[in-house]
Structure 1
Amino acid sequence: IGWRINTDTQLLAIIPLNEVWVDANFKESQLSHMRLGQPVIVTSDLYGSRVQYHGKIVGFSAGTGSAFALLPAQNATGNWIKVVQRLPVRIGIDPNELAAYPLRIGLSMQVTVNTYDRSGQLMSSAGETTRNATQIYAAMSDEAEEETIQLINKTISKLESSEYAATRLHA
């Protein structure tokens, strides 16, 4: 029962739900009007139109999923097909609104971007996400290192005393 795992096997992921964002897929023809920092209104199917989240564009994806495919799409006659691509746009949401109406990963959302102000930066990377870390094991690690050093020193002193005893016996 169960699986064998290695030391580098991920066992779980902790997702801080107060820092979720929306990746909204827009047609490439719509991206020319979008800029970093533009205001966005987002509604979730979970709460319906009665709850609106306010956010802003914080980044654009490096490419579409098909950009990383080995071959472009083609039909049965061998002709390449031009398909309008969709590119993920990352939208940060107001944390106070998330606290009042929590969201879960994978929910369907409707997104409206106000593109009136076009003074922001045109394209950027997907935006920085907060890296969370815990220091829960830091103290334990320090204690373990201290115990290891003590054990090594004790072993060295035992080895030195046994070598000394061995040299006394043979002498």
Structure 2
Amino acid sequence: MHPAAKILVGALMIVVGAFLSIGPLSEQVATLVLGGVGPLLVLIGAFIVWLESDEWKMERQNKESKQKTSGLQEQLKTAQSIRDREKKEREDQKRQEQQRQQKNRKIQRDYTDVLEETVEEAKETVSNMEDPNYNALIAAERRDKNRKTLIQWLERQSE
């Protein structure tokens, strides 16, 4: 039953109890019984009104707190989605960096293969390359054989 209906029933009991207590009674026994019933109804009605109004108040507070909670939950969801997006971005950056490193290693291996040849063969191979990375070639040559003539030629070509 809705709290407002219960409050109405309790108020009705208060009114009926008060009327029976004050109303004209002819017999003493009826007066005694009805005299006790009236105040009893007043007390029970007042108790019901108090109880149900308190329950009604609590329901309103629960609804308000649920709305506040949903606001907090929305904030938590937003924060979680931001964290997820940042994590994905970090993973993407890490994956791109790994791909870049793998590409650089492959280029360095390719340049190392080129520089395994004699100086003349290496010069010819580098000359036939499309847009070679001279800095990587020089670094690979210094790391592996460190031939001064080839390094000097590569430095001249890079200028």
Structure of greater Rg:
2
- Alignment TM-score, normalising by the size of structure 1: 0.27
- Alignment TM-score, normalising by the size of structure 2: 0.29
More helix by share: 2
More strand by share: 1
Larger relative contact order, structure 1 or 2 (CA cutoff 8 Å, min sep 6): 1
